[in-house]
Structure formats: structure tokens, C-alpha cells
Amino acid sequence: MRLHHLNCGTIRVFGGVAMIGTGSLRTRAPGVIHCVLAETDDGLLLIDTGPGARDYAAPTPLNRWFIALAGLPRDSEETAVAQVRRLGYAPEDVRHIALTHFHFDHAGGLPDFPGAKVHIFDEEYAGVMRPRDIYERFVYRPEHWAHRPDWAVHALAGDRWFGFDCTPLVDLGATAFTLVPLPGHTRGHCGVALRLPGGWLFHCGDAYTFHGDVDPDRPFRPPYYRLFRPYFAMIGPFRKIGEHAPRLRALRRAHGDAIQLTNAHDPHELEKFRAGEPPGAG
Ligand SMILES: [Zn+2]
């Protein structure tokens, strides 16, 4: 089974120096949108999609604003669908998409894979379908599910994964995955745990954004985090950054030889995976 670690969007976000630890106070920090493409016995599995082709070619006014906020260059070559094609596959070969959450930088590419089964946690699905407040109405964009995806909505049924609650395992032959709720960033935000031949890859989405936060030996916050805390608090969901970090650190301390961790936006982690030295292993 082969894994491809994709950067589906180079972001340059204000405050990124405090969130993802790159750049400086005076510049927007470069980050990534780290998606994982896995070749399985049941076609391709994509963990998060990044923004979609239409988000760049014909963005709605709100998506135009999201793109500007993230500082994305609107480079269609960075979309997952363009990268899938460059790897020699057709979009139809993506049979499964597992979502950490439904923000545009994680789910905007769904319309590019209209035939894929879309795996989502039931709490997140509820937020998308029945937003309960102005924030949810604002961030979940209907154009990203207007094509009526083949939803696979997963709920907790008593299963456990290394001490975390998780949804029942989805079997894709030699590999399998489960959704592990890490709520806060959105109400149904999950990590996606992918079983590999020698262990697990745990894509934590936006449950943390800086690798130092989950360092089991010497945890450290990005420089200037304190300085930006009021700004994060102002934009709601970022309040929760760091809440899961202690559990993820403990997970790495106990099972670091079996579990590789990554989040969605830290370029340091993506580079490590691409260099073949995954940060969560050992
Ligand atoms: Zn994100």
C-alpha cells in the first residue's frame, strides 16, 4: 500500500507565526493543507480534500473571503484533483474520502470527486445539515455538498482506539480507518486513524496546528502564541487549540513506535513525512 502526502494549499495566514510556528511577526506565515492519499484494496482513500477547483475558478463571495483570509494563492495545480491526476489516476479512482471536519480548506474539494463515498462523523454532519448558530451557518458552505455526495455518516458505538472513543473501523482490505472525535475546532471535528501494515497514521486535522504542542518529551508552544491568544479567542474555534495536546502527547509517549501523528497545517510535519521520517514514529 502506498501513501502520498499532498500539500493541497499553501496558506499564508495572519497570526500563523503563533499558530504554526513559521514566518515572523511581520510576515504572514507559510503553512500547508496536508491531505493524505492512500492506495487501498478498495480504490483510493483521500483524507481531507483541501479546497476544490471551483473554489479557485469561480469562488462564491464568502469563499473568496476565506481564501483571502488563508492567503491561498488560488493555484489550481495545488488542488487534490490536480494532484490525483498528476499521479496518473482519474478522479473516479478516489472511492473514499474521510473528513476531519467540514471547513472549506478540508472539504471544499468534495465536488471534484462526486462518485466518492464521503465518511463523516455524525456530529459534524449534523452541524453541516442543521447549523445551530451563525458561526456554523457561516463556515459550512452548501456549494460543497450541492452535488449530493454518497454520505457515510459514522456514529460512536462503544469502540475504542488507544484509549480514545472511535467509530467502528471501516475495512478497506489490507488497510482500515476509523474516525476519532477531537471536538472543539468544530463540533464534530475528528482525527482520522489509518491502519497501515506497520502501525497507524493519525491525521489530527486542526486539533493542534504546531508540532511542538504534541512533542512528548519537550512540549513547546509556537513563539508569540501568548501574544496572539486574544486574536484566536476572537475568532471562536481557535480557543480550543491546545485542549487535545496533552492527550496526544500521552498517546505518543505510550505508543510513539506504532502511531505517526500529523496535523493539517504544519509544514514541518509534512516535510518530515515526505522525507520518510514521520514525526510521530519513535
Ligand atoms: Zn484547517
The DSSP string of 37-63 is: EEEEBTEEEEE---S-HHHHHS--HHH
Could you list the residue range(s) of the whole structural domain that residue 218 is in?
Answer: 3-274
Q: Ligand 1 centroid to 186 CA: how many Å?
A: 10
In a domain, 114, yes or no: yes
Tell me which residue has cell 478497506: 172
State the sign of the Cα–Cα–Cα–Cα dihedral 3, 269, 156, 161.
positive
pLDDT above 80 (res 16): no
User: How far apart are the CA of 106 and the centre of ligand 1, in A?
Assistant: 6
pLDDT on residue 282: 40
First-to-last alpha carbon distance for the chain, in angstroms, is: 21
**194 Cα–ligand 1 center, Å:** 19
pTM over 0.95? The answer is: no
3-state secondary structure of 32: coil
Residue 280 in any domain: the answer is: no
**pLDDT in the model for residue 281:** 47
The answer to whether position 282 is within a domain reads: no
Tell me how far the alpha carbon of residue 189 lies from the centroid of ligand 1, in angstroms: 11
**Which residue, 173, 170, 249, 178, is CA-closest to 207?**
249
Kindly report the CATH number assigned to the domain that includes residue 21. 3.60.15.10
C-alpha cell read off for 78: 495545488
Q: CB within 8 A of 256, min separation 6: which ones?
A: 216, 280, 281, 282
**Ligand 1 centre and the CA of 232: distance in Å?**
14
Report the C-alpha dihedral over residues 161, 166, 169, 174, rounded to 10 degrees. -40
**CA of 265 relative to ligand 1 center, distance in Å:** 7
Q: Does the pLDDT at position 96 exceed 90?
A: yes
Q: From the CA of 71, how far away is ligand 1's center (Å)?
A: 13
Q: What is the pLDDT of residue 209?
A: 87
CA atoms within 13 A on the CB side of 98: 28
DSSP 158: S
Give distance in angstroms: CA of 100 to centre of ligand 1: 9
* Residue 123 within any structural domain of the chain: yes
Q: Residue 207 is placed in which grid cell? A: 486539533
What is the total count of domains within the chain?
1
For position 161, what pLDDT does the model report?
98
Q: Give a yes or no: residue 145 inside a domain.
A: yes
- The CA 25 to ligand 1 mean position distance, Å, reads 21
Lowest-confidence pick of 27-41, 114-128, 147-161, 193-207: 27-41
In which band, very low, low, confident or very high, does the pLDDT at 202 lie, cut at 50, 70 and 90? very high
CA of 11 to the centre of ligand 1 (A): 10
CA of 273 to the centre of ligand 1 (A): 19
